[in-house]
Amino acid sequence: MSARILESNGRPVFAVVPYDEYVALREIAEDAEDLAALARYARKYAKGDLETIPALVVDRLLEGEPPLRVWREHRQLTAAGLAEAAGVTPAHISKLESGKGEPSVSLLRKLSTILDVDIELLVGPD
């Protein structure tokens, strides 16, 4: 590396390097950051602290299926079971899953807690 050190009051303040060396150093730093993030993920995954989302669930969501239904079925709950846990009727769950009803924020919070998903995952792209 061909760095030029700039001093102020006899102390190093800046290191000036050719641009191509800077780019190479930046790439090395970014790779190190990526490796550290991957290692953190691997540790959490190994401890069971992370849940992965099966491709089938992702595919269904990407195809536009109602998120509430996809997550309910992934958690192996019936509409009646989810309704009972949330304190609503099965007909209300059916209405929400078919897009004919709008859940309140408080109901969305309950549903996200019951289904153990972030509330954002229950709200479709619309």
Amino acid 124: pLDDT = 66
Look up the CATH number of domain 55-122.
1.10.260.40
Amino acid 126: pLDDT = 60
6-52, pLDDT tens digit by residue? 999 999 999 999 999 999 999 999 999 999 999 999 999 899 888 88
In Å, what is the CA distance from 80 to each residue of 15, 47, 65, 89, 97? 67, 33, 19, 7, 13
55-103, pLDDT tens digit by residue? 999 999 999 999 999 999 999 999 999 999 999 999 999 999 998 988 9
- Which pTM does this prediction carry? 0.65
